[in-house]
Amino acid sequence: MNAGLNEYLILSGLLFALGFFGVLLRKNTLVIYMCLELMLVASTLALVAFSRFNGTLDGHVFVFFILTVAAAEVAVGLAIIVALFRKRGTVQVDELKELKH
Amino acid sequence: MANALFYLFSFFTLITAVGVVVNKNTVNAALCLLLSLVGVAGLFALLDAYLLAALLVLVYAGAVVALFLFIVMLLDVQGGVRAPFQRTTAVAGTVGLAVLVAGLAALAGRSGLASTPAPATAAGAAPVGAVLKHYAEMLFTTYLLPVQVVGFLLLIAMQGVIVLSRKFAAEDAK
């Protein structure tokens, strides 16, 4: 079986699914964040594959922007997690439920 | 050769991604994420996106995962008992799995995309993603405004992080 666009898209979907389950199932905020990164990377893989098989460069440039936004997102998100930890002493989502009621 | 590398890299990426999700130890999960990103960078190289492969390793594997490790060790959230999954979580996970598997099966079964041939590169000509000049042309013409916006976004994110940490330092002092 030749590695065509289909194989890359299926791989990307599987990677996205894994990240999705991590977000659904894990309780540690930091691990949830890592799984979000996994989902972002899966989408970039699909973009690069589409770009390669269409012979254009737009997907590559989009990935460029996604990388930048992801870096900014990680910086802000981790700062929020650290602030939360200093305030509450925990990063488990089970114990952070003040917005629930 | 490229096929063997594709399967090797994709297997490696998926295995380490599973490691991110199931690992109890947060440091191990971060290191699995690092390996997974290296696998994706290998796939990018197979897709002739050499610049993106290098950027992924530098930005993600270098900066982001290092930041994650730093925060994990700073907060010291190692170990601890992991509560069993709630029933609603398990049901949501199963439904999500079913939907995603159905989508992937539809994608694989249709195989309309598989017929897309890889664009034939003329002998001696480099593929479009491998030439840095093309990136520069796109970033400074078509995508000039997004580049500026992303620059502002980075500036704002940096200031936001500074404000976040300053505020809490002031509250602790009270």
A47-67 burial string, b = 16+ CB within 10 Å, else e? bbbbbbbeebbebbbbbbbbb
CA distance B103 to chain A (A): 9
CB half-sphere exposure, A35, CA atoms < 13 A: 25
Per-chain mean pLDDT for chain B? 82
Higher pLDDT, B93 or B142: B142
pLDDT at B124 over 60: no
Per-domain boundaries in chain B: 1-79, 131-166
Q: B1-79 has which fold?
A: Four Helix Bundle (Hemerythrin (Met), subunit A) (1.20.120)
pTM above 0.80, yes or no: yes
Interface probe, candidates A8, A26, A63, A80, chain B, greatest B C-beta count within 10 A: A26
Q: Across the interface, do B119 and A55 touch by the CB < 8 Å criterion?
A: yes
Question: CB within 8 A of A50, min separation 6: which ones?
Answer: A5, A59
Q: Looking at the complex, report in whole angstroms how far the Cα of residue A97 sits from the nearest Cα belonging to chain B.
A: 15
Structural domains for chain A: 5-92 (1.10.287.3510)
ipTM entry? 0.91
Residues of B within 8 A of A66 (CB-CB) are none
pLDDT at B80: 56
Q: What is the pLDDT of residues B106-121, one digit of tens each?
A: 877 776 555 556 665 5
pLDDT for position B78: 60
Per-residue confidence band for A56, with pLDDT thresholds at 50, 70 and 90: confident
